Amino acid sequence: MHRTRLASLSAVFVLVSAGTAHATFPGKDGRLTYNRFDDATKTASIFSARPHGPDERQLTHFAKGTAAQFTDWSPDGRLIAFDSDQAGAGPVTYVMRADGSHVRQLTDTAFSADPAWSPSGKRIAIEADWGDYPASEGIYTFRFRKSGLIGQNDAVRVTTAAPDAEFDSEPQYSPDGKWIAFTRFKSAEQSAIFRVRPDGSHLRQLTEFAENGSAPDWSPNGKWIAYDTHDVAIAPNAGNIVLIHPDGSGHRVLIAGTDDNFNQNPVFSPSGKFIAWALFKTAAGGQPPDIYTARVDGKHRRKLGVAGNTNKPDWGSRPHKHRHDHHEH
């Protein structure tokens, strides 16, 4: 299930939440980030590893009982945005270097999380309510800056949840910067993928609420959006990784869920040749998830060679110079 506003973060929640997939921009394939939950300390920390390495490194070292998660690599592969509740009341957005150094809080202490970089690296999209739910709930963007905290007055509102929806979440810029894909939740069991211009115009629903789609991620060439289905319960078509075109056509199940394999949180590699996702063993009494990778056609699946209890992957690119995009707002 998606994190709820009505209950605090808990061990069960960190383990089973679908979480967020992440924007993937073109580049050479670099390291994967993900969070690992420690049952003993009830803490979620961010790690990185080589996709075939693994050369695992722990990047965050926050207080026990807190969560750092929902990573998103900057397009140049040098920075990682993420969110954490370690500052207090609710999750807020942070940024750090790719090696875990120079951790800095970006948004203020109200709910402002699920970060996603724009393709130029100049803006970040988030889900936020700024402590005023439901009136201020929605997708926002703000200009990335090197100092100072971002508050509601610094952000541009992109969406306002529909009257029959609880919240909008999981924003992801398209590789050309012209669109933001996101998930609209009516409930934990009913959610759908939408797209919208960064200025809030041309809102369009891409999937049916009954499919319970969530965690969208754009392919680096912008031709596909990957997402998962039914992340809260066993149901028909549960635990699938699905591909659609940005207009909602071309629906194709890439990796099918089974009684034993429950697939969530897909993300493309920057080269567009591979995908990564979290696989839950549903028949094993709620066995903690592991990160898997495969070719973009779903073949040659392999488990990431690290200890388990890992979730919410994102795939970074090898560092390169900033690219500019004139379509962002």
Q: What is the pLDDT of residues 130-155, one digit of tens each?
A: 999 999 999 999 999 999 999 999 99
Question: How is residue 60 written in tokens?
Answer: 């965050």
Please give the pLDDT value at position 254. Answer: 97
Closest CA to 157 of 193, 127, 122: 127
Average pLDDT of the residues of the chain: 89
Could you tell me what percent of the chain has a pLDDT over 70?
A: 88
Inform me whether the pLDDT recorded for 112 exceeds 90.
Answer: yes
> What pLDDT sits at residue 22?
52
Burial class (CB in 10 A: 0-12, 13-18, 19+), 136: middle
How would residue 23 be classed by pLDDT, with cut points 50, 70 and 90?
Answer: low
Segment 307-313 shows an average pLDDT of 94
pLDDT (0 to 100) of residue 282:
72
Q: Give me the pLDDT at residue 320, please.
A: 60
In the predicted structure, residue 294 carries a pLDDT above the cut 80:
yes
What domains does the chain contain, in order, with CATH numbers? Answer: 11-317 (2.120.10.30)
Residue 237 region, left (φ>0) first, then alpha (ψ -120 to 50), else beta? left
Average pLDDT (248-270) is 94
Tokens of 50: 């080589």
Structure tokens at 166: 């609880």
Residues 155-185 pLDDT 10s = 999 999 899 999 999 999 999 999 999 999 9
Q: Which residue is associated with the tokens 């609710």? A: 90
Which of 266, 282, 197 is CA-nearest to residue 225? 266
Tens-place pLDDT, residues 184-241: 999 999 999 999 999 999 999 999 999 999 999 999 999 999 999 998 766 777 899 9
1 and 12 Cβ atoms separated by less than 8 Å: no
pLDDT > 90 in the chain, percent: 78
Q: What is the pLDDT of residue 284?
A: 57
For 85-102, write each residue's pLDDT tens digit: 998 878 999 999 999 999
DSSP string, 239-262: T-EEEE-TTS---EEEE---SS-E
Q: What are 40-54's pLDDT values in tens digits?
A: 999 999 999 999 878
Lowest mean pLDDT among 64-68, 302-306, 308-312, 319-323: 319-323
Specify the pLDDT at position 158: 98
